[in-house]
Structure 1
Amino acid sequence: MSDELKKGLEGVLVAESELSYIDGDEGQLVYRGYTIEDLAREASYEEVLYLLWHGELPTEAELEAFEAEMAAERSVDDAVLETVRDLAESDEVPMAALRTAVSELSAFDEDADEETDPTDREANLAKGKRITAKIPTIIAAFTRIRDGEEPVAPREDLSHAGNFLYMLNDEEPDDVMEDVFDQALVLHADHGLNASTFSAMVTSSTLADLHSAVTSAVGTLGGSLHGGANQNVMEMLKEVDESEKDPVQWVEDALERGDRVAGFGHRVYNVKDPRAKILSEQSEELGEAAGDTKWYEMSVAIEEYMAEEKGLAPNVDFYSATTYYQMGIPVDIYTPIFAMSRVGGWIAHVLEQYDDNRLIRPRARYVGPTDQEFTSVDER
């Protein structure tokens, strides 16, 4: 057994997966053999969920049934909604509120009985539909209550993306908004063994239940080095705008101070994140539709400078930030929206883990003191 230290498990192979493939040198992302470009432009989020969970794209009849099953699970129990209300009124951080609410969902899930086999695939698919369908309801309710408004009940006649925007704003989104948001959900649905996905796998490897695994993943995604990056990008761009400086000059000043520029660099990609390419187009389209492309133009100027001067390319967070902002989505729920999408990938990876489970148990190299002599407490 090798004693080579791999901090952060970088480059360590720990599993085989049929779900997603990333080529960081070529800038490619593939879900079950389909390029992210094709899926984002041609498939709905519901189709991608079906693909990840079942291994193939659905037929028209299968998709219609799947959409109906998901839509029927959107409502949350009153007790969960009360918890969400309490958390919103106490100014809880959105991701912490989501983590708590997701955990509570298990108390009202008919397939979450303690005696149920945690690896039962059909039971987990049923639980997965419920969790995925209810997370948007939780996020929208939390946001509205916090902002002094009452939650909007979900509707079953809207798409997953359209229903969330409806619950958030109390009005149906136009086709452009719905399509752009649906694309964003597809782009974020899975991405290999990222930190939150891996935490879900570690939890499920102990034969803990699906709700526990997803709760672990939500907690992991809440960290600023993972899911919080797009919020950091938008806060940076707003600071640039408020400074009234040229964006390039602002970045030069920031780098001179030793500050990081949010939204650049990635643990996997050595070139531009393919998801960023698609979202940059959406950001431009939204700006043109609104008659104000300043956020897009600012982003492009920063991207070009960072590429020329630092050799760094933008990641998905860089353009998802302005895309969401131009849709009127509050900045501090960007990460919960990330979770709303990525839960599909988390569940798919947990299903794979259960199918061929082995407890995930790495080792650490001990570097502490040795040969200590114990003394009784009265002699210390």
Structure 2
Amino acid sequence: MATDLRKGLEGVLVAESELSSIDGDEGRLIYRGYPIEELARETSYEEVLYLLWHGELPTETELAEFSEAIATEREVSEDVLATMERLADTGEQPMAALRTAVSMFSAHDPDAGADPDDLEATLRKGRRITAKIPTALAAFERYRLGEAPVDPDPNLGLAPNFLYMLTGERPDDVAAETFDQALILHADHGLNASTFTSMVIGSTMADIYSSVTGGIAALSGPLHGGANQDVVDVLIEINESDKDPLEWVEEATDAGRRIPGFGHRVYNVKDPRAHILHERSKELAENGDDKWYDITTTIETYLTEEKNLVEDGIAPNVDFYSGSVYYQLGLPTDMYTPIFAMSRVGGWIAHVLEYQEDNRLIRPRGRYVGPEDEAFVPLGER
């Protein structure tokens, strides 16, 4: 038995995967061999889902059939909608509402009783989960605003349809393309905490609803899924101060304050996803308010060129620009992590399916460091 203790499983290999690969020194991310830059530029989120779940990019016919299958499964049951309304009225957090919604989806799934070894049934259930999450999230937000939910539009792709259900208005091309890219960029990223959680649950042969619910729970922690909201909180703080962004970041760093959106457990250089969203943020700024882009670029320039944080392996990660992009799109800040889940569910499902093809229960060991030879004292004598 190995005796090395690796806190956080740092550097420990637990599985092989064909899904995604990260080169932290070169700043490179690929899905099934395709660079993330090419996928973000040339494909849709539905194409990336197909790639992750089926192992190859779809033909036009396959994509049309796949997209239609997702579109026809977007509606959620009345009891899910009623629960979203109650949770919105009580002030529940969106991630908790999402966790509840996914658990409820299984009650109406025609494959709910399928054999755990039936991976085709698991894939169908995963597709339904992916289709319904945007509908439940948008309904929750509409209820919080005191407005009725907007029915999904089967003629819109997953990304623009979510924006449509959220606002009641069809997004323009720039907003739709930007949000679609954001979903692609967040779809998978190796064995991060939420993906590994989903895999551990899947390794018990629990159903995919359990795996996805567990992934949502793991993603809800501030050390995993909440950094993009923290970035926006800082941007708002700077905007509401009387200080120039450069002055603010200088004073903050001199005081020892950590700026969210910098540093990553894998990347030692700028996250390739941050490069892409940086460009999208610039495009949004050119078509609207540019102050958020100006603040983020000022912070990045100062920390990378003046403070030289990159030399210490601390560079902008995906959260640094996804937060500002989502804010530029007008999305509610506490919906950022649920949107992360809306995208990453594709990766969770893909990893569970891949692992269950040659399943082995994930069961690590812990090193016992407690006492060995305690003398037992009967209850009446303690």
Which bracket does the TM-score occupy, shorter chain normalised? Answer: over 0.9
- Unmatched tracts of structure 1, length 5 or more: none
Q: Measure the CA separation in 2 of the matches of 1:246 and 1:176.
A: 29
Structure 1 position 367, deviation (Å): 1.4
Structure 1 position 95, deviation (Å): 0.4
Q: Measure the CA separation in 1 of the matches of 2:4 and 2:173.
A: 53
Q: Measure the CA separation in 2 of the matches of 1:96 and 1:131.
A: 16
Question: Which residue type is aligned with residue 97 of structure 1?
Answer: A
Q: Measure the CA separation in 1 of the matches of 2:274 and 2:53.
A: 25
Q: Measure the CA separation in 2 of the matches of 1:164 and 1:288.
A: 24
Q: Measure the CA separation in 2 of the matches of 1:82 and 1:376.
A: 54
Question: Which residue type is aligned with residue 299 of structure 1?
Answer: T
- Verify: 1:236 aligned to 2:238, yes or no: no
User: Which one of 295, 298, 303 corresponds to residue 295 of structure 2?
Assistant: 298
Q: Measure the CA separation in 2 of the matches of 1:249 and 1:198.
A: 41
- Verify: 1:333 aligned to 2:343, yes or no: no
Structure 1 position 200, deviation (Å): 0.1
Q: Measure the CA separation in 2 of the matches of 1:304 and 1:255.
A: 13
Question: Which residue type is aligned with residue 296 of structure 1?
Answer: Y
- Verify: 1:25 aligned to 2:25, yes or no: yes
Structure 1 position 117, deviation (Å): 1.4
Structure 1 position 58, deviation (Å): 0.3
SS at match of 1:21: strand
Query: 2:74 matched to which residue of 1?
Result: 74
Q: Measure the CA separation in 2 of the matches of 1:62 and 1:359.
A: 34
Structure 1 position 253, deviation (Å): 2.7
SS at match of 2:371: coil
Give aligned pairs, total: 377
Structure 1 position 28, deviation (Å): 0.3
Residues 275-298 of structure 1 show CA distances to partners (whole Å, capped at 9, x for unaligned) of 0000000011101101x2111111
Q: Measure the CA separation in 2 of the matches of 1:85 and 1:362.
A: 41
Question: Which residue type is aligned with residue 220 of structure 1?
Answer: A
Residues 150-209 of structure 1 show CA distances to partners (whole Å, capped at 9, x for unaligned) of 111111111111110000000111111111110100000000001000000000001100
Query: 1:368 matched to which residue of 2?
Result: 370
Question: Which residue type is aligned with residue 169 of structure 1?
Answer: T
Structure 1 position 27, deviation (Å): 0.3
Question: Which residue type is aligned with residue 6 of structure 2?
Answer: K
Structure 1 position 121, deviation (Å): 1.6
The farther-off stretch of 365-374 and 96-105 is: 365-374
- Verify: 1:344 aligned to 2:341, yes or no: no
Structure 1 position 313, deviation (Å): 1.0
Query: 1:285 matched to which residue of 2?
Result: 283
Q: Measure the CA separation in 2 of the matches of 1:17 and 1:344.
A: 15
Q: Counterparts of 1:311-326 in structure 2 under 5 Å?
A: 311=310, 312-326=314-328
- Unmatched tracts of structure 2, length 5 or more: none
Residues 345-379 of structure 1 show CA distances to partners (whole Å, capped at 9, x for unaligned) of 00000001110111111111111223222223333
TM-score by length of 1: 0.97
Structure 1 position 255, deviation (Å): 2.9
Over the residues paired in the alignment, what is the CA RMSD in angstroms?
1.0
Residues 36-58 of structure 1 show CA distances to partners (whole Å, capped at 9, x for unaligned) of 00000000000000000000000
Structure 1 position 213, deviation (Å): 0.2
Q: Measure the CA separation in 2 of the matches of 1:335 and 1:137.
A: 16
Q: Counterparts of 1:80-229 in structure 2 under 5 Å?
A: 80-113=80-113, 116-229=114-227
Q: Measure the CA separation in 2 of the matches of 1:244 and 1:326.
A: 21
SS at match of 1:29: strand
Q: Measure the CA separation in 2 of the matches of 1:72 and 1:238.
A: 39
Q: Measure the CA separation in 2 of the matches of 1:315 and 1:222.
A: 18
Structure 1 position 2, deviation (Å): 1.8
